[in-house]
Every structure is written in structure tokens, then in C-alpha cells.
Amino acid sequence: MTNIDFSPLLRSMIGFDRMTAALENASRAESGGYPPYNIEANGENDYRITMAVAGFAEKDLSLEVKENILTISGGRPESDDHPRKYLYRGIANRSFERKFQLADYVRVVEAQLEHGLLHVDLRREIPDAMKPRKIQIRGGAKASGFIDASASDAAA
């Protein structure tokens, strides 16, 4: 396992402590491949996670967001009603849990299951107070064009 040194990035980044911790955790996380998934960017602030969950019904799946972590899990009870003898079993029938770290202000818009694919739509909604804004630079009274009201009253 290779350790990644984030110190060059931290020299010019302020307030990204949680991001670097998330990157370190992701590099340590086991990269199990079940179930397979895609993450798409559909514009500047819209994302979609598509997960292959063939054989799972809506009642078998669970989505939860807690402290900016989206957890998608699935599980099916083993059916004892019809015992089967498999010659080969290539279709997985196991439980799973996948976790995704969400950035601040990213929320789940909706989730839908169609044709064995679970689609989870996400959107980043930055509050107005967090959006970029212009800051006016003010100088002295002469430079800004402001006139002292008390000086004009005294002249009258």
C-alpha cells in the first residue's frame, strides 16, 4: 500500500481538512467491485450514480444520507421455499453496502430503479451566501466621490 503525501496541496489550500481526510480514507478503502457502478457529471452541479442491482427489488434496497455520506445497501433473504441445485451460479445473490462521500451542499434529488439499474440523482445547491460576490473597494472621501454631509450643511 502506498501512502500519499498531501502536504504540497495543503500549502495553498485553506479549510480543506475534511477533503484530505476523505482522500486518505478512500486510498485506504478496500476497492471491492460489487455491485458495479458509474458516477456521471450531468452539468456543473448535477450528478448521477448508476448502480447495477439486477435481481433486487425496491423493497430490497435502502438509501440513507447521514453527515454527508450516502449509503446504498441491498439485501435479499435467502429463499428456502424452492431449494435449488445450481450447476453454476454466476449471478450474485449477496448483500452489499456502498458508501459515497458527498461534498458540502450536495443533496439527493431522487432515486429510481429501472431495468436492474438504480439511478441516484444528486445536485449541488450552493446557498446564496456562499456564492461569489463582488466587493466594492472604497478609498478616502475624495477618491470615492462621497461628500461629507456635515461639511455641506455647514456651508449652507
CATH of the domain at 58: 2.60.40.790
Average pLDDT over residues 19-30: 61
**Of residues 11 and 94, more confidently modeled:** 94
Same domain, 14 and 91: no
| pLDDT of the residue at 116 | 92
Residue 149 lies in a domain: no
Same domain, 27 and 90: no
Domain range for 39 is 34-128
Q: What are the tens digits of pLDDT across the range 107-122?
A: 999 999 999 999 999 9
Same domain, 117 and 57: yes
Residue 140 lies in a domain: no
Q: Which range among 78-82, 99-103, 119-123, 150-154 shows the weakest confidence by mean pLDDT?
A: 150-154
Same domain, 8 and 71: no
Distance CA 71, CA 153 (A): 67
Residues with Cβ < 8 Å from 91, sequence gap 6 or more?
54, 55
Same domain, 23 and 60: no
pTM: 0.64
Residue 114 lies in a domain: yes
Q: How many domains does the chain have?
A: 2
Same domain, 44 and 92: yes
* Range from 28-37, 92-101, 143-152 that averages highest in pLDDT: 92-101
Same domain, 119 and 49: yes
Residues with Cβ < 8 Å from 107, sequence gap 6 or more?
65, 122, 123, 125
